[in-house]
Amino acid sequence: MEPSPNARTVESYEKIAVDYARETSGRGVLAGALTRLAEAVPAGHVLEIGSGPGWDADQLEESGLTVRRTDITQAFIDLQHARGKEVDRLDAINDDLGGPYDAVVVLHVLQHVEPKDLHTVLCKVAHALHPGGRFLVSVPRGEGTDWEVGASGSSYYRALRTKDEFIDALSAAGLAPEWTDQSPEDDGWLVVMAQPH
């Protein structure tokens, strides 16, 4: 049986986790959004889906939040364990998210989720939040699906969405945006902070 696009993407990350960690170390491009989240839920308990090397979780913890780090890629889990961090293996499509949490963070992850699975994941997020909790998420803007080939030669599935499409998807899952930001270029990123409604 042919592996799903998500499974193939995970296999690619297994191969390049160490290089990815090195290339992304330091304060992330979404540091301002993470600061905004920390101000919205001070001293809160946060679920991070797709922690990767853990740099964003580090910033959230430095801001006084408690973070449940998770990833589906074993190489990222191993990398964080080597840094002395506790990380749970979590498949956001098939696993229960636990909770309730004060916030859920999903950065640079949802583009790897097929359109047929997006509603399921967003509904899980909505149900995993306390009333008044926050969902911080980033998605690449665009239309359609494609495969991106990285410098390593590995392939990554990407499902692109327009801002309106993604806002509609959030609303259908019971999440109301309270803040958005986007890069100026047409194919840039959309960042949203939402609450359950």
Q: How many residues does the chain have?
A: 197
The Cα–Cα gap between 69 and 18 comes to 17
Angle of CA points 50, 56, 57, to nearest 5°: 80
pLDDT of residue 2: 76
pLDDT tens digits, one per residue of 57-96: 999 999 999 999 999 999 999 999 999 999 999 999 999 9
The number of distinct structural domains making up the chain is 1
pLDDT tens digits, one per residue of 24-43: 887 677 999 999 999 999 99
List the CATH number of the domain containing 9.
3.40.50.150
Which helix H or strand E contains 6, and what residues bound it? helix 5-24
The Cα–Cα gap between 145 and 24 comes to 24
Which has the closest alpha carbon to 105: 136, 140, 72? 136
Give the sign of the dihedral formed by CA 60, CA 61, CA 67, CA 71: positive
Domain limits for position 104: 5-196
Mean pLDDT of the chain: 94
Do the strands 129-140 and 101-106 form a parallel or antiparallel pair, or are they unpaired? parallel
pLDDT tens digits, one per residue of 1-17: 778 888 899 999 998 88
Measured from the Cβ of residue 186, the count of other Cβ atoms closer than 10 Å reads 7
pLDDT tens digits, one per residue of 116-164: 999 999 999 999 999 999 999 999 999 999 999 988 888 999 999 999 9
Q: What single letter denotes the amino acid at residue 75?
A: A
